Amino acid sequence: MAKKRMFSLDIVDTDSFLDMPPSTQSLYFHLGMRADDDGFVSSPRKITSLVNSSNDDLKLLAAKGFIIGFNNGVIVIRDWL
């Protein structure tokens, strides 16, 4: 896994992103830091717990289209590339 990541202002400067609570925004960054090279995160609930966010924050990211969840619990960050 990479040790450095870049985040696009095209994503994090949008009203949709900035309207989310700070805990949800923080979770997005933490998920991004722990994603593999293709944007997949195998343990999003663990990361959610580690950063003191809630499952509602994870659900909000999915509802707003910032992440895509799979039935096996894995998520992918939508605008990774």
Cα–Cα distance between 46 and 11 in angstroms, integer?
Answer: 24
What string of pLDDT tens digits covers the 81 residues of the chain?
667 778 889 899 999 999 999 999 999 999 999 999 999 999 999 999 999 999 999 999 999 999 999 999 999 999 887
Radius of gyration of the chain (CA): 12
pLDDT given at position 1: 61
- What pLDDT score was predicted for residue 14? 94
pLDDT of the residue at 5 = 74
**What is the predicted pLDDT for the residue at 2?**
67
